[in-house]
């Protein structure tokens, strides 16, 4: 499932993040690249351990935790530490690659990358190029979203960031190990949850909505790995 959600970060939050990034200590973005990805990765990232990274990470995680649609779509068990990258100048693209299946956190903890996520931080009219192109069973999608929006897609997808030919592209990216490993099962649960939300909004707590809620939770109970 490939899904985009608007306004995960508010306009004020985006402006706050961008103000923090003005004097950020950028470095070559190879720290999160595996051997194959490192051959085609040409961007910059913030160090994982620095004041700016910590402030952006706290803001992003707080916003994600407050977003019920994000939770429904991803059912997060673990979230890999959000990172911030920049594409501009000579460090302006990331060729085709598939993200590594396992990421290491501190204290030897591991995150399985079921889901890849990117939050756009730059307004799309401030830079040319920089589209995130994702290839999967649904074909190829080219994504360039308003600042504050997120794209969520399977970690198994082949993808790339096209060259930025004007301006700079700022983004926050991370991976999720989901409670439900199967992308197909997560999609079914998400569609059922959204249908229940629509049903309740239109008609209130009908007996049918209560029964279908039970179906949702029984499926989640059956499929979830806690």
Average confidence score pLDDT of the chain = 95
Final residue before a domain boundary, out of 178, 195, 211: 178
- Note whether 14 and 112 are same-domain residues: yes
- Note whether 130 and 213 are same-domain residues: no
- Note whether 28 and 139 are same-domain residues: yes
CATH code of the domain in which 173 resides: 2.60.120.620
- Note whether 102 and 196 are same-domain residues: no
- Note whether 127 and 215 are same-domain residues: no
- Note whether 60 and 85 are same-domain residues: yes
Each residue's pLDDT tens digit, 12-51: 999 999 999 998 999 998 877 777 778 899 999 999 899 9
- Note whether 113 and 202 are same-domain residues: no
Residue 195 reports pLDDT greater than 80 = yes
- Note whether 46 and 152 are same-domain residues: yes
- Note whether 152 and 210 are same-domain residues: no
Final residue before a domain boundary, out of 162, 178, 194: 178
Final residue before a domain boundary, out of 161, 178, 195: 178
Residue 74 pLDDT level (bands cut at 50, 70, 90): very high
How many CB atoms lie under 10 A from the CB of residue 172?
22
Residue 105's pLDDT is 82
- Note whether 157 and 50 are same-domain residues: yes
CATH code of the domain in which 202 resides: 4.10.860.20
What string of H, E and C letters represents the secondary structure of the chain?
CCEEECCCCCHHHHHHHHHHHCCCCCEECCCCCCHHHHCCEECEECCCCCHHHHHHHHHHHHHHHCCHHHHHHHCEEEECCCEEEEEECCECEEEEECCCCEEECHHHCEEECCEEEEEECCCHHHCEECCEEEEECCEEEEECCCCCCEEEEECCCEEEECCEEECCEEEEEEEEEECCCCHHHHHHHHHHHHHHHHHHHHHCCCHHHHHHHHHHHHHHHHHCCC
Domain carrying residue 142: 3-178
Each residue's pLDDT tens digit, 78-117: 999 999 999 999 999 999 999 999 998 877 789 999 999 9
Classify each residue of 20-49 as buried b or exposed e, where b means 16 or more C-beta atoms within 10 Å of its C-beta. bbeebebeebeebbeeebeeebbbbbbeee
- Note whether 109 and 146 are same-domain residues: yes
- Percent of the residues in the chain that have a pLDDT greater than 90, as a whole number: 86
- Note whether 15 and 82 are same-domain residues: yes
Name the β-bridge partners of 213.
none
Cα–Cα nearest to 156, from 112, 206, 121: 112
Considering its fold, how many domains does the chain have in total? 2
Residue 46's pLDDT is 96
Mean pLDDT confidence for 67-82: 97
Residue 187 reports pLDDT greater than 90 = yes
């Amino acid at each position: 499932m490939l899904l985009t959600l608007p306004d995960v970060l508010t306009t004020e939050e985006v402006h706050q993040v961008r103000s923090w990034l003005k004097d950020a200590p950028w470095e070559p973005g190879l720290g999160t690249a595996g051997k194959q990805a490192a051959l085609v990765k040409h961007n910059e990232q913030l160090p994982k351990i620095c004041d700016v990274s910590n402030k952006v990470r706290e803001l992003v995680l707080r916003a994600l935790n407050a977003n019920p649609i994000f939770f429904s779509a991803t059912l997060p068990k673990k979230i890999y530490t959000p990172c911030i990258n920049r594409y501009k100048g000579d460090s302006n693209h990331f060729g085709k690659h598939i993200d590594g299946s396992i990421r290491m956190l501190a204290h030897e903890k591991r995150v399985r990358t079921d889901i890849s996520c990117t939050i756009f931080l730059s307004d799309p009219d401030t830079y040319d190029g920089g589209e995130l192109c994702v290839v999967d069973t649904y074909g190829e999608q080219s994504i360039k979203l308003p600042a504050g929006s997120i794209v969520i897609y399977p970690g198994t997808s082949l993808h790339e960031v096209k060259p930025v030919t004007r301006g700079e592209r700022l983004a926050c990216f991370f991976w999720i190990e989901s409670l439900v490993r199967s992308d197909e099962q997560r999609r079914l649960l998400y569609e059922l949850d959204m249908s229940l939300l629509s049903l309740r909004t239109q008609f209130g707590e009908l007996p049918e909505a209560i029964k279908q809620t039970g179906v949702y939770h029984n499926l989640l109970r059956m499929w979830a790995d806690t």
